[in-house]
Structure 1
Amino acid sequence: MTARLNEFQQPVGAALPDWQGARLPDGRTLAGRYCRIERIDPERHAAELYEAYRDAPDWRDWTYLSVGPFDSLDAYRRYLETVAGLSDPMHHAVIDLASGQAVGTIALMRIDAPNGVIEVGSVTYSPRMKRTRIATETMALLLGHVFEDLGYRRFEWKCDALNAPSRAAASRYGFTFEGIFRQAVVTRGRNRDTAWYSIIDSDYPALHAAYGRWLDPANFDGQGRQIETLAEIRSRVGPA
C-alpha cells in the first residue's frame, strides 16, 4: 500500500473525512436463534447464574478474572448489584433460549466512542454455555451490534497472556493477535502480562458471513455435532 504524504512529505494515516465517532451502547437486548443478550438484573439473573457456575467441578474458571469465585448466592448477588447500573463496563447476561435460563455473562467496556474503540470483557461462561452454539452466537451478536448498530471501528479482546483458553477463544472467534503488554496489570497480588487482540471494521464482513454459516442448523448433524469448524469456514470465506 502506498503511504499518503502530507505537505511535508511525511507518511500519514488514511483520511477519515466522514468520521464523526461511534455511538455509545444503549443496553438494548440482542436476540439470536439460540440465545439472547440482555442487561444484568440481579433479581432476575443472580440465582440462575450462580447455579450455572456451580456446575463446574472447581474454581479454575475464575483464576484469570478480577472477581470471584463466590462462595454463596448472597455474595454473588451483592457483586451483581455493584455492577448492574454501570455504563462502562456495561454487564450483560446471556440467556439460553431453549431453557430460558441465564448461563453466562459478558461486558462491553473501555468504551471510546470518539475513536470508535470498544472492548469485550468479563467473559464468564458457565459449563452450560461453553463449547455450545450459544457461546459462538454471543460473539456474533456482539460483533453485529458493535459494527453495524453502533458504528465502531475496532473491537478489542484482552486477557492474561497465560490464559490459554481465552487466547484460543480469541483466535477462534477471528480476533487478530497484536502482541503482549508486559507487566500491564497487578491483579490478585500477582503480575499480569496482557495479550491484546482485535477485530476491525474491515474484518467484519467476512467474519459475519463465516459466523452465519457456522451457526446455520444445517452445519450440525443429528447429534448436534458441528460438520465444519468455524476455522474451516473462515478459511474458505476469506481472511479476517
Structure 2
Amino acid sequence: MTEVNSYNQVLGERIQDWQPRKAPEAVTLEGKSCVLEPLSGDKHAKQLFDTYKTTPTIWTYIPIGPFEDLSTYRNVVDTLVASKDTHFAIIDKTTGRAVGQICLLRADPQNGVVEVGYVIFSQELKQTTMATEAQYLLMKYVFDSLKYRRYEWKCDSLNAPSRNAAQRLGFQFEGTFRQAQVNKNRNRDTQWFSILDKEWPTCRQVFETWLSDDNFNNGRQKAGLNEIRDAIVKSHDL
C-alpha cells in the first residue's frame, strides 16, 4: 500500500525491522564442480598466471592486466587480497587447480548492497558448468547467508560477453552511466545490472534446476538457464 506523509509526498516502501548486514568474509564456498576459496598469492597466483596465458582477451575491459611475468601478477594479487574487497579463487574440483577469480566489492552492509566484480575466467573455466556454479555459489552466499537486498553487476558497455552473461544469470538491466570511468586511458561507459532479494528465490530455483543431474546428459545440458527461467516464470503466472 502506498504511503504519503503529512505533506502529501509519496514515501518509499517501509522495511520492517531493518538491521545493517555483515560485511562479506573470506569464506570457502563448495559446490559440486568447483570451490570458491579466499584468493591467496602463495596458493593461487602461479596457477592463475599460467592458465590466463591462454586467454589474453580477458584483460581488455577490466582495470588490471595483461601481465608479462608472474611477479607482476603476484604483486597485484597481494594488493587485491589486502584491499577491503573480498576476492576468491575458483578451484576446479577435478584437478584441484585455480582456473579463475571473482570478487565481492564495494560492499555496503548498511544498505545490504554488494557488487560482483573481477570476474576473470580462463579458457578452462569459460562456458563450463563450473563457471555457472561459481556465480550461483556467490549469489547464494550474498542472499542466503548475508541477507543482502541488492546484488550488482557492472560492465563496460562495449563488453558484449559480460552483458550477455549478466542477463543469462538473471540480472536485470538498469541503465548506462556515460563516461563513468577512464580505463587504460580509454573512455568507459558503464552498464548497470542487478538482482534484488525478492527476485532471488526464482533465480535460485533456476540455478538449482539447471545444475541438477537431471538436466545433464553425458556432461551436456538439456535445457539452458533462459529456457528454464521462462518455464518457471510461466508456471508462477498460472
Same-fold status (TM-score > 0.5): yes
Does residue 66 (structure 1) correspond to residue 57 (structure 2)? The answer is no
* Separation in structure 2 between the aligned mates of residue 229 and residue 175 of structure 1, nearest angstrom: 16
2:207 is aligned, of 205, 211, 223, to 211
1:89-147 Cα offsets, whole Å, 9 max, x none, are 22110001111000000110011110111000011000010000111111111111001
* Separation in structure 1 between the aligned mates of residue 62 and residue 51 of structure 2, nearest angstrom: 17
Q: How many residues align structurally?
A: 235
Q: 1:8: how far off?
A: 2.0
Aligned position for 1:232 = 227
Question: Structure 2, unaligned stretches of length 5 or more?
Answer: none
Q: 1:82: how far off?
A: 1.4
* Separation in structure 2 between the aligned mates of residue 149 and residue 53 of structure 1, nearest angstrom: 31
What amino acid sits opposite 1:139 in the alignment?
Answer: Q
Q: 1:154: how far off?
A: 0.1
TM-score w.r.t. the length of structure 2 is 0.96
* Separation in structure 2 between the aligned mates of residue 153 and residue 225 of structure 1, nearest angstrom: 33
Question: Structure 1, unaligned stretches of length 5 or more?
Answer: none
- 1:238 is paired with a residue whose SS is helix
1:146 is aligned, of 135, 142, 158, to 142
Q: 1:51: how far off?
A: 1.3
Q: 1:206: how far off?
A: 0.4
What amino acid sits opposite 2:44 in the alignment?
Answer: H
* Separation in structure 2 between the aligned mates of residue 225 and residue 204 of structure 1, nearest angstrom: 26
Moved more, 193-202 or 23-32: 23-32
What amino acid sits opposite 1:14 in the alignment?
Answer: E
Aligned position for 1:32 = 31
- Would you say the 8 A contact 2:25–2:86 is kept in 1? no
Q: 1:218: how far off?
A: 1.9
- Correspondences of 1:1-240 after superposition (within 5 Å): 3-56=2-55, 59-87=56-84, 89-222=85-218, 224-238=219-233
1:139-176 Cα offsets, whole Å, 9 max, x none, are 11111100110110000000000100000000000000
Which runs of 4 or more aligned residues in structure 1 lie more than 6 Å from their structure 2 counterparts after TM superposition?
A: none
What amino acid sits opposite 1:84 in the alignment?
Answer: V
- Would you say the 8 A contact 2:51–2:99 is kept in 1? yes
* Separation in structure 2 between the aligned mates of residue 130 and residue 221 of structure 1, nearest angstrom: 19
What amino acid sits opposite 1:25 in the alignment?
Answer: P
How many percent identity over aligned positions?
A: 44
Q: CA RMSD in A?
A: 1.3
- 1:158 is paired with a residue whose SS is strand
What amino acid sits opposite 1:68 in the alignment?
Answer: G
* Separation in structure 2 between the aligned mates of residue 164 and residue 86 of structure 1, nearest angstrom: 28
* Separation in structure 2 between the aligned mates of residue 102 and residue 96 of structure 1, nearest angstrom: 6
